[in-house]
């Protein structure tokens, strides 16, 4: 082995270790932010992140902790077969969470993070026949980018995974009908930001529907233009290395209010 190759071999484990630590910190941050924004559901719903350098293992929350209790060090490592590899608190994982998240991590290697919520606004929109409507700037970003999956009961049946993945296709956002919302991201930050905007889209839709006022209809051309603008913005961060100022700002907030998230 040449000297350059030896140096690369030595650097690779250190690089993976650094990436793993960052993924853990970002994932814990996402849990805390979902709690702070009121998007959690007691000890239920889940956010997962694939471990760097592995296609077959991901991190998820210990079953029984509220989201404000999740830290970088107490996350559970599980493989795609449901084997718990590392469980610092000995609490195991939510079986329904495993069904949903393992399905997507197995099929979509571009989905580093998968985020699922049950919010009042999200479930209300998921229960509407037309689903999310293109009514405002937040919701327009999801034009032609939104998948739908019909409700089959609590996600405990592993055979649902194939149908869930088929419905998701190559999209990053999915409405789980009568159930909730799901986003994927090329990073934890992207999955979180998509969910943040998806939730606000749902709240805005319910607000305008309940107002009784006449709704301004937006053209398909404007909707697609706006979606393209959002896509270019996300691509610049995820593929071109543009700094993610919004995610950095969210984490600074947590450093002031929830400094133990990174423990």
CB 151 within 8 A of CB 178: yes
Residue-wise pLDDT tens digits, 240-263: 999 999 999 999 999 999 999 999
Show Cβ contacts of residue 5 under 8 Å, excluding neighbours closer than 6 positions.
none
Could you tell me the two tokens for 58?
Answer: 């991901």
pLDDT score recorded for residue 12: 47
pLDDT score recorded for residue 3: 46
Residue 260 DSSP one-character state = G
CA–CA separation, 62 and 81 (whole Å): 17
231, pLDDT greater than 80? yes
| Exposure b/e, 207-222, CB count within 10 A at least 16 = b | ebeeeeeeeeebeeee
CB 173 within 8 A of CB 191: no
CA–CA separation, 199 and 214 (whole Å): 22
Share of the chain above pLDDT 90, in %: 87
Residue 72 DSSP one-character state = S
Task: Calculate mean pLDDT across residues 133-152.
Answer: 96
CA–CA separation, 47 and 251 (whole Å): 17
CB 261 within 8 A of CB 32: yes
CB 135 within 8 A of CB 151: no
141, pLDDT greater than 80? yes
What totals of helices (H) and strands (E) does the chain contain, helices first? Answer: 8, 8
pLDDT score recorded for residue 7: 43
Distances (CA, A) of 213 to 134, 142, 207, 208, 210: 16, 24, 10, 7, 8
């Amino acid at each position: 082995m040449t000297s350059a190759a030896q140096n690369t071999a030595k650097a690779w484990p250190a690089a993976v270790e650094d990436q793993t630590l960052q993924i853990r910190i970002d994932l814990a941050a996402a849990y805390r932010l979902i709690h702070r924004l009121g998007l959690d559901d007691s000890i239920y719903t889940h956010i997962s992140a694939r471990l760097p350098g592995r296609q077959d293992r991901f991190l998820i929350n210990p079953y029984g902790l509220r989201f404000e209790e999740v830290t970088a060090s107490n996350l559970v490592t599980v493989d795609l077969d449901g084997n718990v590899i590392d469980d610092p608190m000995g609490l195991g994982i939510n079986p329904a969470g495993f069904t949903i998240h393992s399905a997507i991590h197995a099929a979509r290697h571009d989905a580093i993070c998968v985020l699922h919520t049950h919010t009042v606004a999200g479930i209300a929109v998921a229960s509407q026949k037309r689903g999310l409507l293109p009514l405002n700037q937040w919701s327009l970003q999801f034009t032609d980018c939104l998948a739908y999956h019909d409700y089959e009961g609590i996600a405990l049946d592993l055979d649902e995974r194939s149908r869930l993945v088929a419905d998701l296709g190559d999209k990053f956002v999915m409405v789980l009908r009568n159930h909730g919302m799901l986003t994927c991201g090329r990073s934890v930050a992207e999955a979180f930001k998509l969910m943040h905007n998806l939730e606000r889209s749902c709240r805005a839709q319910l607000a305008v529907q309940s107002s009784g006022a006449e709704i301004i209809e937006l053209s398909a051309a404007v909707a697609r233009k706006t979606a393209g603008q959002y896509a270019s913005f996300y691509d610049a961060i995820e593929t071109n290395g543009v700094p993610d100022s919004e995610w950095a700002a969210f984490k600074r907030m947590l450093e002031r209010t929830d400094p133990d998230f990174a423990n």
